[in-house]
Each structure stands twice: as C-alpha cells, then as structure tokens.
Amino acid sequence: MKRKKYFIIISGLILLHLLATPLLACKGRVLNLAVGNSPDQLIMGQMLSILINERTGTTVEIVQLEDIKAAHEAVLHGLAEIYITYLGMAQAGTEGPNALDEPQKAYVLARKSYNEKFDMIWLRPFGFQGPLPQAAPSEKVDRTIAAPITTKEVVKKFPILDRLINKLAGRVDNKTMEELRKKSENQDVEITVREFLTSHNLI
C-alpha cells in the first residue's frame, strides 16, 4: 500500500511537470530524464539532455524529483526513461562486494541485479563519485561511482542511445565535476555544460 501511494505521488509530480512543458516538445521523439535535487544530478541531467538532443534530435525533458529513489521509481514504472544513480545507493541493503573497496566488482554485480530484477541497464560510469546514504548528516560522507541507468525497452526504441551516453564514460571525473559546479555558480548550468561538451567535441 505504501509503495502504491509513493507511485501515485511520483506520477502526479511528473504529470504536473509535463503539463507545464511547451507544446513544441511534442514534436519528434521525447525522452524524460528523472534527476534528484542536487548540483551533480542537475549538471549531469543537463549534460545528457544536450548531448542526446544535439546528436539525435530527440527532445529530452528533465524531470526534477525529490531524490534518487523517486527517480528510480519513475523509470521503473515507465514515467521516465533515464536516471542517474550512485553505486553505493543502488547497493544499499544488499550483500556482495563493497562499493568503496571493490567498485568494479560491485558495479558488475549491480548491473546483473538490476537487469534481472528491473529489466534495467546500467551504462558506463561517468567518472565522478557521489555520496552514499548516510545515517546522520554529521557523519563523514563516503562517495561511490555515478552512472546512468535506462531500461531494455528504451534501448530497443532508441538503439543508439546507450552508445551515445557511453561517450561520457570516464570524461567527468571528480576534478571535472568540481570545476563544473564552480562554473555553474556564476553562469547558467546549460551554458556550462554546453561549453564542456563542445570542448570535448561531443556536440
């Protein structure tokens, strides 16, 4: 019952967002990208949006939700097509290699688990690290690799999408993300991200 209520709330948030979207977005294909409410999420959401739009002509609508769990649920229930998560969060409550000590093994296990449980596909990590869930705000923040996730169905509908997004693999390390954050404090995120993509010949 709690899960159903949570799903209804997410559906309502996304519906309100889509109703507020200009009608021009209805032309051609549209992908909904769910992001959490953090600078890293907003930066990478904008980066994926611009990359996909510039290279394929597909309109990408960024749906900002309260957290990554909500973004996961949105994709799980077909209300969005892509989201970004962190290995430690995806691994929370499960057994297996530690995401901090053995990130590669933990990544492989997460890919297998999400494929079997949710028909979701982990794409290649961006390169930077995001926070693990914390028991209390005062605790030290451990960080684990960030990666985009989509579904098998979406990859079938957009056959080059996974290859295109994977072009970002390893390009946005911790240093680069910090630079993007700082630039975004003084100029629009879209401008910051577009400059990065252009400088790397991605658009």
Q: What is the pLDDT of residues 166-178, one digit of tens each?
A: 999 999 999 999 9
Domains of the chain, by residue range, sit at: 26-199
What is the DSSP code (8-state) at residue 31?
E
Confidence of residue 25 (pLDDT cuts 50, 70, 90): very low
- Measured between alpha carbons, how far is residue 68 from residues 101, 105, 146, 186 in Å? 23, 22, 12, 26
Q: What is the pTM of this model?
A: 0.80
Domain 26-199 = CATH 3.40.50.1360:
no
Chain-wide mean pLDDT for the chain?
A: 85
Question: What pLDDT digit, counting tens, does each position of 110-155 carry?
Answer: 999 999 999 999 999 999 998 755 544 444 556 899 999 999 999 9
Mean pLDDT across 54-69? 94
Beta-bridge partners for 84: 148
Task: Using the Cα atoms of residue 9, residue 94, residue 165 and residue 146 in order, give the sign of their dihedral.
Answer: positive
Question: What pLDDT digit, counting tens, does each position of 62-117 carry?
Answer: 999 999 999 999 999 999 999 999 998 887 766 666 677 788 898 999 999 999 99
Residue 7 confidence (pLDDT) above 90: no
Confidence of residue 14 (pLDDT cuts 50, 70, 90): low
* DSSP H/E element including 8: helix 2-19
Q: Which pLDDT value is given to residue 20?
A: 44
